[in-house]
Chain A
Amino acid sequence: MTDQTADGRRRRAEELQLPPSAIRHPPSAFRSATRDELWFHGRLVESRLSHGEAIHDERGITATDARDDALVERCEREIERMRQSIPKDARVRLIANASTGEDSATMTIGMRGLSIVTSPEHVMRDSELLRGIAAIEPEGGAIEVRGVPIVWRNGSAAVLLHEAIGHAMEHDHEPLEWPSWLDAGVSLRMRRATFRDVPLRRMTEVVARQSGAPFDVASPHIDVLLVAGGAYEPLSETVTLRVAAADYDGRRLLPFEIRATRAEVARAITGAEGEPIRYPGVVCSREGQELVVGSVAPVMLTVFR
């Protein structure tokens, strides 16, 4: 049935002027407040407050820096809680966010070129982990990682799965066959980094578990301790991981990169052991929007051919 009234014709004429993907539903409102601070060895260097509102209707998004006092109060409370647990020997970025979508409290701790992303609940333990990793300097030359068993410790396999499974899901790529003992749970929903951003279907967490996996590690092998970052190239379905800290044959390796298609990643996963471990930190960037993604995985074994 078509609306032939004058109002209906006017609405139709107006709709023809809309962007093609304009959303045909009642307006939705998103409000947020964020306080972020940069601390360097216990001294405040930068502090930003940001707040705003985005009204999303069939004509798009109208965003202003309107203030919601309750949200601002929530994030100020959270930043104060984080200030109490700042390590004094590090570069620390605190981000407290309160919004109609989700609240978060994130602490990025940097030491000697390495960093982790943590929360007030875990900052002590994670900082200790980082301190321990950063205390050892790389030595010797780079090695060819193809064919060498890689043991992903500290939950770092979650980053590999984040790129190979999570981003592929965000792009609606065909599912692949993964080891039958691996249960990789990826949660997706519409998220946005700020009120100025267009919401996108993004990961919220990656939780990997193993059940009855083999775990037969040959020596020498690489132990991955910390990952600096990763990327998923949707055109070639290629995963790139930048390993920040890893040990091999009794020495700390220089940072290195692993690049493989996601099909190669699926074939490379050959084992796992133990319970899932929370990885300290995945800040995922897509379309310029940085979002924290929870990342949990057991110790896993890969061999890239």
Chain B
Amino acid sequence: MREFYRKRGSVVRWENGTLVRVTESGVAIEEDGVFTCHPERREGPPAYEDTRVIEVARTIESMIEPPLRIERLIVSDGFAEHEFDGRTWRDETSRVHCSIVNGRIRALVDSTAGRLDDIPRIAVSLARAEQHEREPPPRLRVAPNVTAALLPSLAGLAPPNVELLQTAGGIDGKGMPVEEASADWPNSYRPSYRIRPVRMPLNLRLRCDVTEIEPDRPLAVALLAPLDGLTMHVLVDDGRRAFPATVRVTRIDAVAHEAVWYPYGGGSFGGEMML
């Protein structure tokens, strides 16, 4: 069986002060287990408007003041048109990746251009962060941006009192509706025509019978490094002080109802969580 996938799109990216505009179209073919792809000569899509990317980058830069500095700032906006097996669809993407530094500590921010709320909150804690690691508090709240990063690692490993779900909505990498699922992930992830699609959970969320969050617990406000399985290196703010700590997720006490989408894995809805 021969499968054709076509994609054309345009993206504007601010990368550490350089504006990059990319326009591409290509085709991917899968036949008898062999994946091939190449650019396809056809009318290119119109260039994407760059105003918002520049504005967002400047807004983020204005949020960061000494002693903090931005080490890396990537903001991108784009759209793509897709065609697979007679189905056509279009989507838009918006991404922000930022690393903010205080001394030897680096906080990581991954979000969308429409949601920058995490950055000022992280900056406040990071600006007064101690440089040396402390033991994590026995009870901890985890901010939505940190929870969202954790969810893809919980696939197949989620503690028994929580349920990891794929959220229904949107279109997958083969043009099929994304359905609610909790196992045997039915949908395909295809972030580029150059990448073979893989079945994996999209738009994850975590459900727990307990949704009440105790507001007085110390808060893990940001990731300080990419996750290592279920081990998180995070910035903890207990109200009196902020410090780096390494937390191994073994138990989840509660997960709040309200959740926000973040660009981790195939998408992840992060809600405040209590460990």
Residue numbers of A with Cβ under 8 A of B are 17, 19-22, 44-52, 59-65, 67, 196, 198, 235-236, 287
Contact = CB atoms under 8 A, between A and B. Distances in A.
Interface stretch (B19-27, B142-150, B181-189): B19-27
Interface stretch (B38-46, B249-257, B267-275): B38-46
A60 B18 contact: yes
A49 B38 contact: yes
A61 B24 contact: no
A21 B21 contact: no
A52 B41 CA distance: 12
Contacts of A64: 22-24, 44
B19 A61 contact: yes
A61 B41 contact: no
B41 to A, nearest CB: 7
Q: Which of A45, A52, A235, A287 has the most CB of B within 10 A?
A: A235
Given A46-B34, A47-B34, A60-B19, A235 B101 contact: yes
B196 interface: yes
A47 B194 CA distance: 9
B85 to A, nearest CB: 20
B194 to A, nearest CB: 6
A48 B41 contact: no
Interface stretch (B9-17, B132-140, B158-166, B209-217): B9-17
Contacts of A49: 37-39
Interface of B: 14-26, 33-39, 41, 44, 54, 57, 72, 101, 103-106, 194, 196
A215 B25 CA distance: 57
Nearest to B29: A47
Contacts of A60: 18-21
Contact of B18 (A21, A50, A65): A21
A59 B19 contact: yes
A28 to B, nearest CB: 13
A76 to B, nearest CB: 12
A189 to B, nearest CB: 17
B34 A19 contact: no
A45 B33 contact: yes
B17 A45 contact: no
A52 B35 contact: no
B194 A48 contact: yes
A198 B35 contact: no
A235 B104 contact: yes
A289 B162 CA distance: 37
B264 to A, nearest CB: 16
A198 B16 contact: yes
10 contacts: A19-B18, A19-B54, A45-B33, A46-B34, A49-B39, A61-B20, A62-B21, A64-B24, A196-B20, A198-B15
Contacts of A47: 34-37
Going nearest first, the 4 A-B pairs with the smallest beta carbon separation are A60-B19, A21-B17, A49-B38, A65-B39
